[in-house]
Copies of this chain bind each other. A is one copy, B any other.
Amino acid sequence: MDTLYILINCDLGAETQIISELAKIPEIMEVRGTYGVYDIFVKVQAPTSGVLEEIVTNKIRRIPRVRSTVTLTPIMSQGGR
């Protein structure tokens, strides 16, 4: 499975609604509103990087009032869990 961590900033006041939209996407393993410098944390998993690309480009980034995304790509060869 391929994984991405995505840090979202959104229109303020829209967090709860966006989180509820994101929660409908089955490939999203984890989604939480956060304090700090990003508004929403997302972890998404899919069988291939092509499917991941499709989810980010056509689903997550098209949700209304999502303003910007910062994406972290795991480097599996560095270990961890």
Residues of A within 8 A of B (CB): 3-5, 7, 9, 12-13, 15-16, 19-20, 22-23, 30-38, 40-41, 49-50, 53-54, 56-57, 61-62, 66-81
A53–B70 touching, CB < 8 Å: no
B15–A61 touching, CB < 8 Å: yes
**Which of chain B's residues have a CB closer than 8 A to the CB of A40?**
80
| A contacts with B: majority SS | mixed
A33–B70 touching, CB < 8 Å: no
What's the minimum C-beta distance from A56 to chain B, rounded to whole angstroms? 7
What's the minimum C-beta distance from A81 to chain B, rounded to whole angstroms? 6
**Which of chain B's residues have a CB closer than 8 A to the CB of A77?**
50, 53-54, 57
What's the minimum C-beta distance from A70 to chain B, rounded to whole angstroms? 5
